[in-house]
Structure 1
Amino acid sequence: MDDLPPSLVLEILNRLADSADLARCRVASKSLNVLSREVRSVNLFCSLDRYLKSRAVETRLLVMPFKVILKSLMNDFVALDSVSIGVEKSLGRISYWHDDVEDWSDDLFLTDVGFAREWLPAIGRGLTSLSIVDFWVQSCWRQSKILALITLCCGNLQELELKNAWLSVDGLNRLNSLKCLTLEFIRLDDEDLSEVNYNFPHLEILNLIGVGGLNEPKIHLSHLKTCRWTVSNAPVSLSICAPSLSKLELKCVKPKSLIIQTPMLSDFHFCLQDASGLQVNEFPCLRKLQLHFPCLYSLITTFSSARTIKELTLNTMQRAESVESVKLCLDTLFEIFPNLSFLKLGPGVFSEAETCYQAEGLDERIGMRDLKKIHASLETYKVELKLPFIIPILEKCTDSLDMELLIYHNADSHLAGGIMSKRAVNHPRPKWRWELWKEGLKEPWAKGI
């Protein structure tokens, strides 16, 4: 390593995924020790193994406190622009009732503003990215004012990620540089989201995952382009006003009310369990739509007309037979979405459409002629029973149709392949792709016939 140019060594050090390796490099040689202080990013996470050793009687005195390591690292760099610290996902399994947990401990309470004051002011001005993943057991009952400190010290910050904490918005400063904000498993008070809207006005990406404590949350950001919002189980009134938003992923249970004012929306992922009283406004730019809902028929019929949508994905949360009597028919789909080029059907949706076909048949909708690809998951290992529904679809589509079917993992692959080989002689148009699937994973065993 001593023979390599310093610039190349520094580039290697900058690419280390774990800053614990950086500390090891410091004791390896004098040149590495000097160059290590010029790296631009720090990534250090406490593992479950380290946590358990710090609690065990026989090893606790041998483990240096995690906060001590972090503070010594942060105060030993000259050009940091990215910091990512926290606890690993494995520590999420630890609860209050774990034998080794002491409720009053704070050695992994990383959003502790007193601890952050010992290192953040020295490096904050140069930071463009900051991520802190806290230890929920120690942070959930301690409200932190870390946001105010971050907005005070990090005037050039562009990306901020905070997880597993109870945050206060008191004392926030306006941070015009921030473009991306992620809050995951965060507790806020009811009016705190309005402070986020005001103090981070130039956000372009916003991720709110499991943010609790909000009754009437409102997102009002004029520059927002991408938003992922997963709402907790409590029924709330949701409002999104984002004139520049192009992609929205929204997951909720049963909102009291839902207002979405996003005229530029082109990609919409929508997952909910109850849509009682839901009214859908026109989305003039919508091209891609994904719906995940127990009663798809009642949901898609709220779209009075969706001629702009080219790609449609439908999934059910449970078997449709146990939810509603009105089945979702392909005829209904192509009446509401007449200009589809791509259609993806989950296993429950495919079975529901098949049941409707058995009762009512299948009309030759004009929209089916524009269809370029169908992706469907079959919820059975008796593949031959699905052919009476599959073949009429092929006959009503054009020669350019590409059909991809995922077979249930217990299906006889040789039987399925033999059936489709014979059918391909009579129906050469589709490009058959049969793959095995299990619990959402695909295990391909054969490609196009």
Structure 2
Amino acid sequence: METVESVSTSHGFGYLVDHNICLTYEEFVEECLARVSQSLKSLSLFGFPFFRYNSNILLLISEYCHNLVSLKLHSGWLYVDNMNPMPMLTTLTLESLRLEDKHLNQLNKCFPNLQLLSEFAITKTVKNLTLDSGNTKPTDNRDSKLTIGKVFMVFPNVSSLCLKSSAWLEVEASMNQEGWGSLDGRKGLKRICAYLKLGDPSWTFSSVACMLDQCVGLSEVSLLVHVRHVGNVCHNFMSNCIARWPRLKWRWGIWSDEILKDIWIKIL
């Protein structure tokens, strides 16, 4: 069948518990993909057994499915080393899967044009978290999906949080007139770093205030301002922050798309 565009397995495989059957499952997938991969745009694999070994499913998919747009995987322990990039893929759903932290960067590189990612399960082991976003332009609160509340819900034990510029724009866009609602104290969060664009300093200050006022355990805040806003606007913004939260340790810096390293200019 040379024109198959969508393949979805049933979840019966999830009840098989023999290790050899698990390997056979990969062999079955490889043989199937080799036959239908040319026209395949959507693939859903449900319930390959959850053993403590690295599944090569993603490697097989990246080897054969060059035109895949949507991918859904359920149950397993994923392995991504030597995986080929999949620039056509825009939608990825990962459910009940295990993926080691060291493989996250490689996974991101393999899906450069991803537009939609499924929600993460609650992850209690992550302590240091850096958030970025594919959106480079500000959105309004109707479009933004990233909120600080969701971040803390998924990563409840984060002690250090860094928000890159695009992620901060998403966070600002999620703010409404009532702010972000309750962040449940966030006593475990000790450090925050954010990359800011002061296009509307008063709005950005309100967003910073919403977060800092509720994260009562904070001890250190690092804010980097885009280089084009350095000047009186930046100076006034910094002064207002220090006056509002004098007990915190402050670090100020400059970031730019053109420079590789951030420039720290003041530590208070």
For normalisation by structure 2, the TM-score amounts to 0.58
| Cα deviation, residue 264, structure 1 | 10
Q: How does 1:37-52 map to 2 (within 5 A)?
A: none
Question: Does structure 2 conserve the Cα–Cα contact (< 8 Å) formed by 1:342 and 1:371?
Answer: yes
**2:157 matched to which residue of 1?**
339
| Cα deviation, residue 397, structure 1 | 1.5
Give the RMSD, CA atoms, in angstroms.
4.7
Q: Within the alignment, does 1:303 sit opposite 2:88 as a pair?
A: no
* TM-superposition CA deviations, 1:264-285 (whole Å, max 9, x none): 99xxxxx986225x13215497
**2:222 matched to which residue of 1?**
404
| Cα deviation, residue 235, structure 1 | 5.9
**1:317 matched to which residue of 2?**
134
Question: Does structure 2 conserve the Cα–Cα contact (< 8 Å) formed by 1:339 and 1:367?
Answer: no
**1:378 matched to which residue of 2?**
196
* TM-superposition CA deviations, 1:26-49 (whole Å, max 9, x none): xxxxxxxxxxxxxxxxxxxxxxxx
Q: 1:242 to 1:405 in 2, by over 3 A?
A: farther
Local SS of the residue matching 1:331: helix
Question: Does structure 2 conserve the Cα–Cα contact (< 8 Å) formed by 1:216 and 1:237?
Answer: no
Q: 1:445 to 1:275 in 2, by over 3 A?
A: same
Question: Does structure 1 conserve the Cα–Cα contact (< 8 Å) formed by 2:189 and 2:217?
Answer: no
Q: 1:429 to 1:261 in 2, by over 3 A?
A: farther
**1:280 matched to which residue of 2?**
95
- Distance in 1 separating the partners of 2:211 and 2:160: 14
Q: Within the alignment, does 1:447 sit opposite 2:266 as a pair?
A: yes
Q: 1:289 to 1:392 in 2, by over 3 A?
A: farther
Amino acid of the structure 2 residue aligned with 1:310? K
Question: Does structure 1 conserve the Cα–Cα contact (< 8 Å) formed by 2:185 and 2:216?
Answer: no
Q: Within the alignment, does 1:262 sit opposite 2:77 as a pair?
A: yes
Question: Does structure 2 conserve the Cα–Cα contact (< 8 Å) formed by 1:294 and 1:320?
Answer: no
**2:26 matched to which residue of 1?**
none
**1:93 matched to which residue of 2?**
none
Amino acid of the structure 2 residue aligned with 1:312? L
* TM-superposition CA deviations, 1:57-110 (whole Å, max 9, x none): xxxxxxxxxxxxxxxxxxxxxxxxxxxxxxxxxxxxxxxxxxxxxxxxxxxxxx
* TM-superposition CA deviations, 1:85-143 (whole Å, max 9, x none): xxxxxxxxxxxxxxxxxxxxxxxxxxxxxxxxxxxxxxxxxxxxxxxxxxxxxxxxxxx
| Cα deviation, residue 409, structure 1 | 1.7
* TM-superposition CA deviations, 1:165-199 (whole Å, max 9, x none): xxxxxxxxxxxxxxxxxxxxxxxxxxxxx9xxxxx
| Cα deviation, residue 392, structure 1 | 2.4
Q: 1:387 to 1:417 in 2, by over 3 A?
A: same
Local SS of the residue matching 1:338: coil
Q: 1:432 to 1:299 in 2, by over 3 A?
A: farther
Question: Does structure 2 conserve the Cα–Cα contact (< 8 Å) formed by 1:288 and 1:311?
Answer: no
- Distance in 2 separating the partners of 1:307 and 1:432: 28
For normalisation by structure 1, the TM-score amounts to 0.37
Q: How does 1:421-432 map to 2 (within 5 A)?
A: 421-432=239-250
| Structure 2: tracts of 5 or more residues without a match | 1-22, 24-31, 35-39, 81-85
| Cα deviation, residue 238, structure 1 | 10
| Cα deviation, residue 422, structure 1 | 4.1
Question: Does structure 1 conserve the Cα–Cα contact (< 8 Å) formed by 2:72 and 2:94?
Answer: no
- Distance in 1 separating the partners of 2:103 and 2:266: 26
**1:361 matched to which residue of 2?**
179
| Cα deviation, residue 404, structure 1 | 1.8
Q: 1:421 to 1:329 in 2, by over 3 A?
A: same
Q: How does 1:16-27 map to 2 (within 5 A)?
A: none
| Cα deviation, residue 384, structure 1 | 4.5
Number of residue pairs matched by the alignment? 211
Local SS of the residue matching 1:407: strand
Local SS of the residue matching 2:186: helix
Of the two structures, which has the highest relative contact order with CA contacts closer than 8 Å and spacing of 6 or more? 2
**2:3 matched to which residue of 1?**
none
Question: Does structure 1 conserve the Cα–Cα contact (< 8 Å) formed by 2:122 and 2:155?
Answer: yes
Amino acid of the structure 1 residue aligned with 2:76? Q
